[in-house]
Structure 1
Amino acid sequence: MANDGLSAGAAARRLGVAVTTLRTWHQRYGLGPSRHEPGHHRRYTVDDMVRLQVMQRLTAQGVAPAEAAAWARRSPGTDPAPSDAPPSGPVAPADSPDPALRAAAAAARESILSLVESGAMIADVGLGDARAGGGQTIALGPRVDPAARGLARAAMRLDGPSMRYILESAVTHRGVISAWTNVMMPVLIGIGERYEATDRFIEVEHLLSRAITEALSIVPRPPRELTPRVLLAATDEEQHTLPLEALAAALAENGVPSRLLGARVPSRALMDAVDRTGPAVVVLWSQLPGSGDVTQLQHLLSRPHPPVVVAAAGPGWPLADLPPTVTPLNGLAEAVRVISTVKA
């Protein structure tokens, strides 16, 4: 960063927020620019940007703004930011035991300092229009998990690093089932509803889906010596696979290996895979009504050596038409419970 610091506009572009957001953080929480020369506008220094990064990262995780600002003002390696107004909200102790908040503060500082060292913050330029997507939100409901709110904000900003940070933290500290149910699903549903209402934001859904896939992939898989006896696949015309990815990760978390074939698996390919691997469990996923063709289930049941469990998962299946020996799965937790109890 140049010695003169960054203007409010450049700082906003760097963070991907609106200038009005910076003004609010300054006026309400004391997170304003500290460099001031007579006759010139105040400028944001490196330490100011560290505080703003901490504020942004914590609020993205759903931390209340006043609490996030208290952490930002006390972030490691920075001095309290000067302000024309007294800071509001509780002041978090510098030695607070909360590891997530301490990690976020440290990561924000490291991010800013790495940019400084690389020269990326020398020019008074930003990373795009700070107001892009301004005022655009995902409706999640009043009782949604704070981490889901943070994820929704990051998704609408197309902030991949923040999305991955929130998602990986949720998977690591809560487990796959809780992360999927309380953090990922509400945002996926919310962005889907926004798309249906506006025919927009498909880019948000794509980036969010990719971030979820990456977060689920961090779950350690069972030892390779364990032969997978669970086969997961989407139906012939089904392109959605995130629920199957979540199931594979949740099973792995419980020590159950699986094979995931992915999207749009033709019936013949599915039968070939069943004949070659002899799974004890086959789960077919159908998201949309048009993709839930029960003939694929019937073909599985008619094999010379059918799987012990043939399960239909997802809202696309016509439940009234399912063969009586097919097991419907309602939710990730139930799927993991049912599959984990099957004896090969």
Structure 2
Amino acid sequence: MSDGARWSAGAVARTLGISPTTLRTWDRRYGLGPRTREEGKHRRYDDVDVATLRRMLELTGQGVSPAAAATMARGGAGPVPDVHDFIRAATQLDAPRLGRLATELIGALGVVDAWESVLTPFLVELGERAVEESGGVGVEHVASNALLTVLRRVGDPLEGGRLPALMAAAPDEQHTLPLEALGAALAERGCASRNLGARVPAGALLAALDVLAPRCVVLWAHDTARARLVPLAKVAATRTILLLGGPGWDRVALPAGVHRVHTLHGCVDEVLTHSGRSS
């Protein structure tokens, strides 16, 4: 400790036993940096900052997701909703409660971390139950509709200039909630997008690309047979960055220059980068 109760970034990292890279990531991604910064000088942490970081370490060590841990460490109103909260509401077909939980979760963590740390595991578990249990499909549909409503409320940024992202599901592909999450995550960052929705025929996709000329097109496929119906070579030949999400592309031959994206966070980064925005 130096400069009274001021800590350098290196001293904090050594004291907590974490790498300086982790410290910088927590600052950039979760806002767990120095509460005050002096222009032209190195970052300095005070004792409260260090206590917050120590709490972050304790919570992640207990298995709390980093995003949720950061919210709690900063003095949030307590634990954010978890998978079990969502499962209980879904099995009771309580759509209003599902909506409230999703709104609270996204408000605490943001769309990307809410999706990756809680909502995706929740939806996976519902999908497994739908296969095993009578009535599971109805539960899954109620939950999906509740989440869809909340995701569409996140925002609708004004478009200016070239459209940053056009999203579409493969022909006959009905799983589109990941695209809705992407649209919400981009909206949260003030980035406009357009979603063509489910079961987009090849001709309709190419026509939309011709009209809109987006910087990126994001195509989602959960199933390989449906992924193979997409005219990838023709899309790749347009003036757009082609991003592919979903497990349906795993066994599909891809044209050169096509980008696979495996997480919502990664897809958001790609769209923002290729649109000339920083993430």
TM-score normalised per structure 2? 0.67
Among 239, 243, 266, the residue aligned to 1:311: 243
Between the aligned partners of 1:160 and 1:218, the Cα distance in structure 2 is 16
Number of the residue aligned with 1:41: none
The answer as to 2:260 corresponding to 1:325 is: no
TM-score normalised per structure 1? 0.55
2:163/2:215 contact within 8 Å kept:
no
Between the aligned partners of 2:230 and 2:200, the Cα distance in structure 1 is 13
The answer as to 2:158 corresponding to 1:223 is: yes
For residues 230-275 of structure 1, what are the alpha-carbon distances to aligned partners after superposition, in whole Å with 9 as ceiling and x for unaligned? 1000011201110000001101112210000000000000011000
Alignment of 1:263-278 (within 5 A): 263-278=198-213
Stretches (4+) displaced over 6 A: none
Between the aligned partners of 2:114 and 2:160, the Cα distance in structure 1 is 28
The answer as to 2:104 corresponding to 1:172 is: no
Between the aligned partners of 2:103 and 2:161, the Cα distance in structure 1 is 26
CA apart distance, 1:319: 4.5
Amino acid paired to 1:232: M
Alignment of 1:5-16 (within 5 A): none
Number of the residue aligned with 1:73: none
For residues 264-303 of structure 1, what are the alpha-carbon distances to aligned partners after superposition, in whole Å with 9 as ceiling and x for unaligned? 000000011000111110111001222111652112123x
Between the aligned partners of 2:119 and 2:263, the Cα distance in structure 1 is 14
Number of the residue aligned with 2:32: none
Q: Which runs of 5+ in 2 are unaligned?
A: 1-74
Number of the residue aligned with 2:142: 207
Between the aligned partners of 1:158 and 1:324, the Cα distance in structure 2 is 45
Alignment of 1:136-175 (within 5 A): 147-175=82-110
2:171/2:226 contact within 8 Å kept:
yes
Q: Which runs of 5+ in 1 are unaligned?
A: 1-96, 102-144
Between the aligned partners of 1:181 and 1:147, the Cα distance in structure 2 is 12
Between the aligned partners of 1:339 and 1:323, the Cα distance in structure 2 is 19
Number of the residue aligned with 1:40: none
CA apart distance, 1:212: 0.5
2:163/2:193 contact within 8 Å kept:
yes
Between the aligned partners of 1:333 and 1:176, the Cα distance in structure 2 is 10
Number of residue pairs matched by the alignment: 202
Q: Tell me whether 307-316 or 220-229 shows the greater mean CA deviation.
A: 220-229
Between the aligned partners of 2:236 and 2:201, the Cα distance in structure 1 is 16
Among 153, 160, 167, the residue aligned to 1:232: 167
> Which is greater in Rg?
1
Distance 1:292-1:199 versus aligned 2 partners, 3 A rule: farther
Between the aligned partners of 1:217 and 1:226, the Cα distance in structure 2 is 23
